[in-house]
A and B are shown apart, each in its own frame.
Chain A
Amino acid sequence: MHTEITHKIPNGKLVRISLDYDTATLQKAKICGDFFIHPEETIEEMEFVLHHLPVEAGEQRIKDLLDRVVLTKKAQLIGVDTLSLAKLIHEAIYQ
């Protein structure tokens, strides 16, 4: 299954999430938009850790996974944040 969601973060940037998933897990996650993340390649890592995430994973678990990447890469997010991304990913699965 495929789903997409677009959301403008208040006081932030536009985020567009695209997900491919089956009944059990996420197969592919794409996080796009006009935000800024330094260093830029952090995004590929954030998308990678979402692969095979159980679809029933809650917002907090998604946020924790993304936060771990941000911490490891010492990344700075501008116009976007991991809580908003986690909420959107969760919402995309259940919309």
Chain B
Amino acid sequence: MYIIIVGGGNIGYYLAKQLNAAKHEVLLLEKDRTRYRILSEELGEIVMQGDGCQADQQLEAGFGRADAVVATTGSDDDNLVVCQMAKMEFSVPRTISRVNDPRSEKLFHQLGIDATVSSTKIIYNLIEQEVGGGEMIPLAALNRGNIEIVEIEIGTKSPVLNKQVKDLNLPPDALIISIIRDEHAVLPSGETILQLHDSVIALVNADREPELRDVFA
């Protein structure tokens, strides 16, 4: 696979190193000349100096044949534009963006970015799982109709633990489509009882998300 990483900070650097070691073809694009020199001394010719938001430099970097573009800079706006331009100009099949503000993830999905990673959210979720809160993780957004697919884990303190699906007071425009239990997907009926560590997968209208969260937390 040919993978282009935009942004040579710590995340971009370690990612390039790992992918390179795994025998992928990698290009690391860094805008700042000083940082570029430091990176290329260590990583050699897989580093290129350039602005990943500019179409001419995307062309030069070979975005046209990239299997994936990963934007890892510390600025959400730069990452968004890198991925959108990669899609618009070169139809890159997979665009992955680092997101600092977790609330931006929804917008990024709406705007066609294939995958987002928010370290803020990951750390938050780790802490929330420890204390057993029912944090809702967005899995995907359907382009039409403002519908999201979310995952909610059932913790020890969840108010719906050991309840039947039919007894849940779900808001309108919310539908439980599956329950992941011991790594297996269960298709639930009204009689299905929610157990500890179940992951509930639900379709929900984005506007109803807070109400759905309240049911589980």
- The answer to whether A and B assemble together is no
